[in-house]
A and B are shown apart, each in its own frame.
Chain A
Amino acid sequence: QMQLVQSGPEVKKPGTSVKVSCRASGFTSPSFAVQWVRQARGQGLEWIGWIVVGSGNTVYAQKFQERVSISRDRSTSTVYMDLSSLRSEDTAIYYCAAGGIGGWNNYFDPWGQGTLVTVSS
């Protein structure tokens, strides 16, 4: 059974960076992708990007292209989402989700439990 477990809540100051982790288990293919999505309080879902765990290939939303880096540690099946130059508008719950084989044309299932990132001075 596929499962994604994320790291705990973070509080960061504006201008700094945050790194959220997502540990995957129960996946049988090295080509599976992990997606990242965020949700501000009371708002909708916003796609950030994905990584193919086996190859390390990434695809990012243009909005985040210059500030985000998604990486992985194959030995621990852990994926990391690093967001820099944080501002108050980045305060949100960040979710990882399994994005199928290769990332392209795949729905998101299952999802991690979410990580609250708060940006405050």
Chain B
Amino acid sequence: EIVLTQSPGTLSLSPGERATLSCRASQSVSNIYLAWYQQKPGQAPRLLIYGASSRATGIPDRFSGSGSGTDFTLTISRLEPEDFAVYYCQQYGSTPITFGQGTRLDIK
């Protein structure tokens, strides 16, 4: 099983700042099958990034993903008020499909 570890657990920033979220895998993720999801309270997760760096349909270009192998990053270039949420990484290249424990992005 591939274990995904996200850091930090909580990130406190202000609107307009840059956010950098990390996801580290216990072993290499096949063919960059790594996704990022955003979840707001009371809502289902929403796909942001797939294939480590491809933005999903309708996702603003302030969201970007990078990385390969075991180290992946989600960057939000300039935070908007609606970006404060919990973010999860997911590997879907091998079963069991696994998720990181999440990073909570709070307003400072």
Seen from chain A, the residues whose Cβ lies within 8 Å of a Cβ on chain B are: 35, 44-47, 59, 61-63, 95, 97, 105-114
Contact = CB atoms under 8 A, between A and B. Distances in A.
Interface of B: 30-31, 33, 35, 37, 44-47, 50-51, 56, 88, 90, 92-93, 95-102
B93 A105 contact: yes
Given A45-B99, A47-B97, A105 B44 contact: no
A63 B44 CA distance: 23
- Interface of A, helix, strand, loop or mixed by DSSP: loop
B94 to A, nearest CB: 9
- Interface of B, helix, strand, loop or mixed by DSSP: loop
Contacts of A114: 44
B31 A105 contact: yes
B47 A109 contact: yes
Contact of B96 (A44, A61, A95, A112): A61
